[in-house]
Amino acid sequence: MSFHSLSSTWAPAVPARRDSLALRLFRALGQEIRIRRAIREVNLLDERTLIDIGMMPGSTEHAVRRGRCR
């Protein structure tokens, strides 16, 4: 048995570390800030441009948060 065959099957016994509550909240806050910034940018587009890219003018927030419906 070679060293390579022994090392390829080895896995650490330490379980995967879960993120802390503070870190998860910080990431969620950052994601919400990015989404709101994107909504503001999309709302700056005129109606004709929105229709050209396949979005309805009244559904910009839904499209940014969840994507366009197909």
pLDDT digit string, tens, across residues 26-69: 999 999 999 999 999 999 999 999 999 888 888 889 989 998 66
For residue 3, what pLDDT is reported?
58
DSSP-derived 3-state class of residue 30: helix
Contacts of 70 (CB under 8 A, 6+ apart): none
For residue 31, what pLDDT is reported?
96
Contact 53, 31 (CB under 8 A): no
